[in-house]
Structure 1
Amino acid sequence: MRVPVPEHILPAEQLGRVHFIGIGGAGLSAIARVMLARGIEVSGSDGADSSMVAALREEGATVYVGHEASQVDGVDTLIVSTAIREDNPEYVAAVEKGLRIYPRSAGLASVMEGRRVLAVAGTHGKTTTTSLLTVSLQAAGAAPTYTVGGELAASGTNAAEGSSDLFVAEADESDGAFLVYKPYAAVVTNVEADHLDQWGTEEAYREGFAQFVGRLAPDGFLVAVIDDPGAADLRHVAHSLGRRFIGVGESELADVRAVDIVLEGTTSSFTVVDGLNELGRITLQIPGRHYVADALAALTVGLRLGHSFDLLKAGLESFTGTRRRMERKGEAAGVRVYDSYAHHPSEIAGDLVSGRSVAGEGRLVVAFQPHMVSRTRIFGEEMGRVLGAADEVVVLDVYLAREDYDPEVTGKLVADAVPLPPDRVVSVAGLEEAATELARRARPGDLVLTLGAGTVTEVGPMVLARLRTAEQ
């Protein structure tokens, strides 16, 4: 459901008691955490209990499991997830009561008010880049407030209130939310067609990023990874608007470059060249060339804010990842199990390259759960083609998210497009069946990688349990 953004968004401190429908989700939970840290009374509801719900309760929120109209009694402001439907009883009651109702984007804008915002956007890599920017600024002593679309592995949280005027935020383009914010500085990692169920056309989607650049403060700046053509195109937009543009990447045209890149096992190292100056070498604890680009963009923001390379480097090198982004789940019977959020063909391809590096001499055994009917309809065959980089592939049925089932668009659409022998590809319906197939196919030395933005993240622990049982 899309709730209109009000013309005037109040600062969080003026919202009164705030209730979140869908508070357990990545976006709303982050906003709620910042509000709780500022002493704002917060309540919320979610469809199921979870570790996030438990954590929010510990931090002072009143959280209900299930949705009842009475749960908005005494509430001043309602903040709504896009996954909520119009017949949600709490939303219906809020409308009847005439409560102030904000979409997620307006809720985030309310806690940004009065801060110098550093917004990270892009089709892929937003969460990792936001996380890298956060930890590097923390290491430099900048103490930013931050909201991230995933939990930092080191801290176990997706948001925190900082003591400085900086606010680091993941800026989501999926529903146009990033056009609500007013950043001082921004990062665009890449621009590649996605979320066409919301934007309609690729042209409209790309125009959204141009509009995002137009939201930058006059004295602010844009950092873009110019190895990506869509992000590189924003140079002309920034210059036409009189905004500073800093291109980063491996290209010789980049203002800040990553050179001598070495990908080895679970690490990625590179040397940073800023203009004509070689600044030094950075070794990340995360594998993959795309993560080098993310780290370079985060580093560049810190450098342009005036922080030292050495301190920013220390933060980047301390980063141990974000949950659901090439996250190690464990090892059993000589098989390593990782999980990642990749759900777009480019993300899948990038994580398979990373997985191959981590696997070493072992095979890459992958389970993929397509996310959303509309995305699978558009990109399903391409998803299947890129999955061909694995040695064994298990494809689950489509995770519906906020959409309805379509019998013409299933996981089989993806599985049929995987260019591997039939005995190395299988289509399954559910999580248990996927875990059984992965455990059956994996051998000692192999890497099992689960991919997707839905419930496939639950499969890794199931695989490990089956492998441990088989060992006994």
Structure 2
Amino acid sequence: MSAVALLLAARGLEVSGSDAADGPALPGLRDAGVAVHVGHDAALVEGVDTLVVSSAVRESNAELAAARAAGVRVLHRSQALASLMADRDGVAVAGAHGKTTTSAMIATGLLAAGADPSFAIGGTVLTAEGSVGGGRQGTGRAFVAEADESDGSFLAYGPLVSVVTNVEPDHLDHYGTRDAFEAAFVAFAGRIRSGGLLVACVDDEGARRLVERVRDDLAGRGVEVRTYGRSAEADVRVGELTACDGGWTFEVSTGEATAAPTTVTLALPGAHNALNAAAAWTVLVRLGVPGPDAAAALGSFRGTGRRFEDRGTAGGVRVVDDYAHHPTEVAALLRAARSVAGDGRVLALFQPHLFSRTRTFAHEFGAALDLADVVVVTDVYAAREDPDPSVTGALVVDRVPTAGRATFVADRFDAARAIADAARPGDLLLTVGAGDVTALAPTILERLAARAGDGGPAQ
């Protein structure tokens, strides 16, 4: 929502908005001329032409109810974003996981290549020159958007290029079944403009099925399909990821006789990030950036906020925050963390996100968390859902295969202190989840510093 507000303000519109609580996004909005209010109040929509809402806003919200009663036009966030993209070469990135990083990689690559893109991404974009923020208005043709499939709103876009990182079932509270979830991605692919491109990860079974279902139809409309992955059948093949000075490196190759493999160097660990970068590289080439230049541009990417984000070190323990909230994401994160930790252990403080997701994927979460050495699970972050007393973090802990590896601590601050007390010098400690677990890093660092008697955390 903050990215959309920034973009609307950059287009010269008078923009105001409210949030339930103060947070890190609000100062930047105020600096951009957005009138920001903390707390929701029906009076705030008086005199406005349009109200833009996210899926988290319920009909009972005071401002939304007042807008409905007054006949004010109400748009979903995706509709507002689609209007901003309408006159640009839109790039929409979707998938159950990986879309924030992949869209940020594309945006960063375009910036580094001098294309001056616009973008709307659900996280702060980090580059070698510093933080760019999640929303940017550029003068170039390209507009990169993270496309949220959680409620079907990604069908509002009509992009030139669509990326599907995976079609792994999630958000079944909205879709109900795997078939309905996959059908939404078929419809998403059908929204690509004539002459455009679908980029999909052939390593993912759901994305592979998507390509099989839509390839002929897209070809009939002049839409190209390019797959990527480690599989030999991929159009853009991803080589082995190896550590190097300053990061990790791998090769992408297209199998074309006249094209030599291109080396990509990333600042971020993890085989999953190599796949994300391959998708970004494929898009950059389609948008006119030469392959070697696209690879070099991706080297300037330093990550996004809450994706393996360093929060500090205290008592010899490095603390990293990550947004992972799906079992596949958690497993990929912990594998990447293992490659970074060296001889140290990997500790995870995990906050489940949504009662429905926790209930559906409890076994999968347990298996993923078993990749860590020590795990503390706190209670569920409800987000948009009503409480369900039958679903707690204990449901996940009970399904971690290795006995004694995981502990349930309901209160999140107690959980933060518990994971800090379990750490020792040389360990890598992760705060993991899409909720307010991200706010616990200072508590952990303070506990670590106090225990070590070193006077405070090193940043």
TM-score interval, normalised by the smaller of the two chains: over 0.9
Find the partner of 1:458 among 436, 439, 445. Answer: 439
| Structure 1 residue 263 displacement after superposition | 4.5
**Quick check: 1:148–1:170 contact (8 Å CA) kept in 2?**
yes
In 2: Cα distance, 1:379 partner to 1:156 partner: 34
Paired with 1:303 and 1:324, the residues of 2 have a C-alpha distance of 28
Distance 1:163 1:86, change over 3 A: same
Q: Is this contact kept in 1: 2:218–2:224, CA < 8 A?
A: no
Distance change >3 Å, CA 302–CA 70, structure 1 → 2: same
Give 1:235 shift.
2.1
Tell me the amino acid that sits aligned with residue 232 of structure 1: R
Match of 2:29 in 1: 56
What is the aligned partner in structure 2 of residue 193 from structure 1?
169
Contact 1:49/1:65, CA 8 A, preserved across alignment = yes
Query: Structure 1 residues 333, 281: closer, same or farther in 2, change over 3 A?
Result: same
Q: How far did 1:38 drift?
A: 1.2
Structure 2 counterpart of 1:108, which letter?
L
Change in Cα spacing, 1:266 to 1:400, as seen in structure 2 (3 Å) is: farther
Distance 1:283 1:450 in 2: 26
For residues 361-413 of structure 1, give each alpha carbon's deviation from its aligned partner in whole angstroms, at most 9, with x where no partner exists: 10011111000011011001210121011110000100000111111111000
The question of whether the paired residues in 2 share the 8 Å contact of 1:263 and 1:357 is answered with no
| Aligned: 1:47 with 2:29 | no
Secondary structure (helix, strand or coil) at the match of 1:321 reads: strand
Q: Distance in 2 between matches of 1:260 and 1:380?
A: 31
| 1:256 aligned partner, one-letter code | V
Deviates more, 1:233-242 or 1:296-305: 233-242
Give SS of 1:129's match.
helix
TM-superposed deviation, 1:115: 1.2
Inter-partner Cα distance in structure 2 for 1:203 and 1:263: 39
Residue equivalent to 1:165: 141
* Identity among equivalent pairs (%): 49
Partner of 2:25: helix, strand, or coil?
Answer: helix
CA RMSD in angstroms, aligned pairs only: 1.3
Q: Deviations over 1:25-69 (max 9, x none)?
A: xxx111111111111100001101112112101110001111111
Q: How many residues align?
A: 444
* 1:130, distance to aligned residue in structure 2 (A): 0.2
Aligned position for 1:386: 368
Could you tell me which residue of structure 2 aligns to residue 235 of structure 1?
Answer: 211
- Contact 1:263–1:269 at 8 Å: present in 2 too? yes
Deviation for aligned residue 1:326: 0.9
Partner of 1:13 in structure 2? none
The answer to which of 283-292 and 134-143 deviates more is 134-143
1:18-33 equivalences under 5 Å are 28-33=1-6
Alignment TM-score, normalising by the size of structure 1: 0.92
Instruction: Tell me the TM-score normalised to structure 2 length.
Output: 0.94
In the alignment, residue 270 of structure 1 is paired with which amino acid? F
Q: Distance in 1 between matches of 2:132 and 2:441?
A: 19
Aligned to 2:238: 258
Tell me how far apart the structure 1 counterparts of residues 240 and 24 of structure 2 sit (CA, whole Å): 41
- Shift, 1:429, TM fit: 1.4
Output one character per residue of 1:203-251: Cα deviation in whole Å (capped at 9) or x when no partner.
Answer: 0001110111100111101111111111122222133232210011111
Structure 1 residues 256-265 or 110-119, which shifts more? 256-265
1:219 to 195, 199, 205: 195
Question: C-alpha separation between the residues in 2 aligned to 1:240 and 1:67?
Answer: 46
C-alpha distance in 1 between matches for 2:247 and 2:231: 22
Q: 1:367 to 1:266 in 2, by over 3 A?
A: farther
Match for 1:305: what amino acid? L
Residue 141 of structure 1 and its aligned partner are, at CA, apart by: 1.6
Equivalence for 2:70: 97
Offset at 1:264?
Answer: 6.4
Are residues 1:70 and 2:43 paired? yes
Q: 1:137 corresponds to which residue?
A: 110
Query: Quick check: 1:116–1:167 contact (8 Å CA) kept in 2?
Result: yes
Shift in Å, 1:265: 9.6
Contact 2:182 2:210 in 1 (8 A): no
State the AA in 2 paired with 1:463. Answer: I
Contact 1:265–1:360 at 8 Å: present in 2 too?
A: no
* TM-superposed deviation, 1:261: 2.3
CA distance in 2, matches of 1:247, 1:113: 26
Query: 1:40-439 counterparts in 2 under 5 A?
Result: 40-153=13-126, 154-236=130-212, 237-242=214-219, 243-263=223-243, 267-276=247-256, 277-422=259-404, 424-439=405-420
Q: Which runs of 5+ in 2 are unaligned?
A: 454-459
